[in-house]
Amino acid sequence: MPELRQVPRSEVTAEVIHRYYDRLFGEGRDPVANPGTATGTPGDWWTIFALCPDIFQHAVDGFAVYRHPDRKIDPVLRELGQTRAGWVKGSQFVFSQHCKSLRGLGVSEEKIAAVPHWTVSDVFDDKERAVLAYADCLTAGDGRTPSAVFDKLKTFWSDEEIFEFTYITTLYAMHAVITRALRMEYDNREEPIVEIAAPESFNAGDFLGGARRS
* Residues 53 and 147 placed together within one structural domain of the fold: no
* Residues 19 and 123 placed together within one structural domain of the fold: no
Is residue 37 assigned to a domain? yes
Boundary of a domain, candidates 65, 93, 112: 65
CATH number of the domain where residue 134 is located: 1.20.1290.10
* Residues 47 and 77 placed together within one structural domain of the fold: no
Question: Residues with Cβ < 8 Å from 18, sequence gap 6 or more?
Answer: 9, 12
Domain of residue 41: give its range: 9-65
Q: With 0-12 CB in 10 A as exposed, 13-18 as middle and 19+ as buried, what is 195? A: exposed
Q: What percent of the chain has pLDDT over 70?
A: 96
Total domains in the fold of the chain: 2
* Residues 28 and 101 placed together within one structural domain of the fold: no
Rg of the chain's alpha carbons, rounded to an integer? Answer: 21
Please, are residues 114 and 84 in contact by the beta-carbon 8 Å criterion? no
Q: What is the pTM of this model?
A: 0.89
* Residues 84 and 172 placed together within one structural domain of the fold: yes
Q: What is the pLDDT of residues 112-165, one digit of tens each?
A: 999 999 999 999 999 999 999 999 999 999 999 999 999 999 999 999 999 999
* Residues 60 and 146 placed together within one structural domain of the fold: no
> Could you give the C-alpha distances from 174 to 96, 106, 116, 163, 178, in angstroms and in order?
16, 26, 19, 17, 6
pLDDT in tens, the chain (214 residues): 899 999 999 999 999 999 999 999 999 999 999 999 988 999 999 999 999 999 999 999 999 998 899 999 999 999 999 999 999 999 999 999 999 999 999 999 999 999 999 999 999 999 999 999 999 999 999 999 999 999 999 999 999 999 999 999 999 999 999 999 999 999 999 888 998 988 888 887 776 665 554 4
